[in-house]
Structure 1
Amino acid sequence: MTASGPGGAGGGGGAAGGSTMARLADMGFFRIIGLVVVLLLIAVVGTITAGDRFLAADNFQSILRQGTVVGIVAIGMTFVITGGGIDLSVGAVVALSSVWATTLATQEMAADTHWLLLVLAAIAVGAGAGLVNGILIAYGKIVAFIATLAMLVAARGLAEIISEKRTQIVSSSDLPGFYDFFNAKPLGIDMQIWLFAVVAVGVGVLLNRTTFGRRTFAVGGNPEAARLAGINVRRHTVLLYVLVGVCAGLAALILIAKTTTGSANHAELLELDAIAAVVIGGTLLAGGRGTITGTVLGVLIFNTLTNVFTLNNRPPSEQDVLKGAIIVAAVLLQQWLASRKSTT
């Protein structure tokens, strides 16, 4: 005979059902379903108001393509926020990476050796900026908001100094391999979309299926408990900021390929879009809980919304108001769910 709880077989079944529902809730299942529903509702509005223009395959690819830069940065930001931090400097780091990778010296070296040198330069700059942020926060005991705000100002300023406030052009004739790769369309899909998908899947596995991911949840949930459990909290914090820096460097490469330029003006206010997508996706700003799937859906929601507004010739100001309302609603929902969990 199967054992059951105090309430008998029926009670046991109810408990099992409740336990299953609780596990699904903890996994963020209902939150993800909610995001999918919101995305579908926006798609319905787009279909009704824009018809075939919205439903065109090229338009769907355009939505994905426009979301790749902020999406890759938002994926890195998910790790940082899950780990209890914040990074306001990612937009400026993207700009600095794009400028450093497109200096005349870097381009000449890449042309003489291999175009991958340009790629390594952008990623190295992003990782270096993340390393500085991480050290200042973890070892310098500077609040993440202040440290990354300082990096935002410094990185943008350094980008202006290096570029002399000029837009740096990357010639496709000098680096044909770079453009051939980033503008390729495997299976008819833009390479930048493939890169976004690879980063999302790879980092998703890192967060949910590895020791590094489990440590990130622990550090974000309770740093002191994580330290007592044997986790090197300071070193892990540094690695989180290096990770988002690498994502910023990769995003810079996509921007270079899109615009054929490196500029100190690239990615202005990108950090706000990235943080918004992360929050909409269900990652707690307080840390301890995060989801890459939710972040990707958050990016898609905002970009689909932008696409619908563009197709209907609506002013950006209306779109910004609606985005703000969505962000506030998402935070209020997080607080409500947290209060319900604390009372059960």
Structure 2
Amino acid sequence: MGPPSAHAATRRRGTRPDLRNLSLLIVLAALVLVGALTTPEQFLSLQNLQLVLTQASVIGVVTVGVTFVIIGGGIDLSVGAMVALATVWATTVATQQYGLGGILLSALLVGLGCGLVNGLLVSFGGMVPFIATLAMLASARGLALQISEGRTQIVDVQPVLELGQRDAYVLGIPPIVLVFAAVTVIGWLVLHRTTFGRRTVAVGGNPEAARLAGIDVRRQRLLLYLLSGLCCGIAAFLLIVLTGSGQNTNGNLYELDAIAAAIIGGTLLSGGRGTITGSVLGVLVFTTITNLFALNNLETAVQQIAKGAIIVAAVLIQRKGRTP
């Protein structure tokens, strides 16, 4: 008999994402149970559930873009700074004169512009993704501070503010959550049902093999950073709707939260493997933990320790589950 390894290994690899997602669902269910036992009236209230989903939406959209970049073999440390710059640029007095459309378009263009710079530096400039995006992090934060002069820019465009009001909810679901759901579904379809998704996995798994197979590796990486920038632009607009303002401190540590959510969702930092479903579940787990700690008046330090322990456990499970 020939070696059974190829087909069997493929089947085993195919089952692992489902097992990881199932384990995350179990963790999420356990957290919900803890919330139901410790603060049942508060945690299980409709308002709190809406709050959890709303808080998860902004970082969730960012995480979708970061997941694509990591699967493609890269990293993006600048997402938080890009969100901050986009919120500031989109809420200047000049931009607000163009209403909701102007604010939305400005946020998207700023995100795409930053993503383009990252992509060009990494793909055609030959820079290591860590260094290129670290430089963007510093530059975008500095530019956001310079534009805002350290002040909070208040939005006075009523259509934007109304999107964050309860009157805009659809069947009890905030519009922000609906946008997050749409981005998640589109991201899943692109990754798992399109040539772009297959090329992303191929480039992240083995760039040289992908090149020999006819894939333009540099172009693919450029598109991945553009996608990450677009997600940051969308997240910036959602944050503007949520807070009614723009400030240079927005998006603080988003890069760490997004990368952590992707990792516990099964995305390999070395690239070549990951799922949108797992990343979104990772976001929900972290957001639920934050909510539980807030409701139970526990210290932020303990919350960070818990998150760190979850990340370490997820990485160890990934290493243990790899095939030799």
Q: Normalization by structure 1: what TM-score?
A: 0.89
Change (3 A) 1:182 1:225: farther
Please report how far the alpha carbon of residue 53 of structure 1 lies from its aligned counterpart in structure 2 after TM superposition.
1.9
User: Residue 190 in 1 paired to residue 180 in 2?
Assistant: no
Task: Answer yes or no: is the 8 Å Cα contact 2:155–2:161 preserved in 1.
Answer: no
CA distance in 2, matches of 1:24, 1:32: 12
Task: Answer yes or no: is the 8 Å Cα contact 2:42–2:48 preserved in 1.
Answer: yes
Name the structure 1 match of 2:151: 166
Name the structure 2 match of 1:176: 158
1:91-134 superposed Cα distances (whole Å, 9 cap, x missing partner)? 000000001111111112x14xxx21210110000000000000
CA distance in 2, matches of 1:260, 1:52: 29
The 5 A counterparts of 1:1-344 are: 22=12, 24-26=14-16, 28-108=17-97, 110-111=98-99, 115-171=100-156, 175-183=157-165, 184-338=168-322, 341-342=323-324
CA distance in 1, matches of 2:13, 2:79: 34
Please report how far the alpha carbon of residue 182 of structure 1 lies from its aligned counterpart in structure 2 after TM superposition.
4.8
- Counterpart amino acid of 1:82? I
Please report how far the alpha carbon of residue 21 of structure 1 lies from its aligned counterpart in structure 2 after TM superposition.
5.8
Task: Answer yes or no: is the 8 Å Cα contact 2:71–2:268 preserved in 1.
Answer: yes
- Counterpart amino acid of 1:221? G
CA distance in 1, matches of 2:116, 2:13: 36
Identity of aligned residues (%): 54
Equivalent residue pairs, number: 319
2:126 alignment partner, SS class: coil
CA distance in 2, matches of 1:21, 1:237: 28
Please report how far the alpha carbon of residue 24 of structure 1 lies from its aligned counterpart in structure 2 after TM superposition.
4.2
Please report how far the alpha carbon of residue 186 of structure 1 lies from its aligned counterpart in structure 2 after TM superposition.
1.1
1:188 alignment partner, SS class: coil
1:133-174 superposed Cα distances (whole Å, 9 cap, x missing partner)? 000001111000000000000000011111122111111xxx
- Counterpart amino acid of 1:66? Q
1:187 alignment partner, SS class: coil
CA distance in 2, matches of 1:19, 1:319: 38
1:229-249 superposed Cα distances (whole Å, 9 cap, x missing partner)? 111110110110010101111
Change (3 A) 1:29 1:325: same
Structure 2: which 5+ runs fail to align?
none
Q: Which stretch has the larger CA shift, 219-228 or 45-54?
A: 45-54
RMSD of the TM alignment (CA)? Answer: 1.8
- Counterpart amino acid of 2:274? G
- Counterpart amino acid of 1:25? T
CA distance in 1, matches of 2:11, 2:142: 51
1:285-317 superposed Cα distances (whole Å, 9 cap, x missing partner)? 000001000011000101111111111111111
- Counterpart amino acid of 1:291? T
Task: Answer yes or no: is the 8 Å Cα contact 2:261–2:279 preserved in 1.
Answer: yes
Q: Normalization by structure 2: what TM-score?
A: 0.95
- Counterpart amino acid of 1:191? P
CA distance in 2, matches of 1:259, 1:210: 35
CA distance in 2, matches of 1:278, 1:23: 18
CA distance in 2, matches of 1:263, 1:235: 33
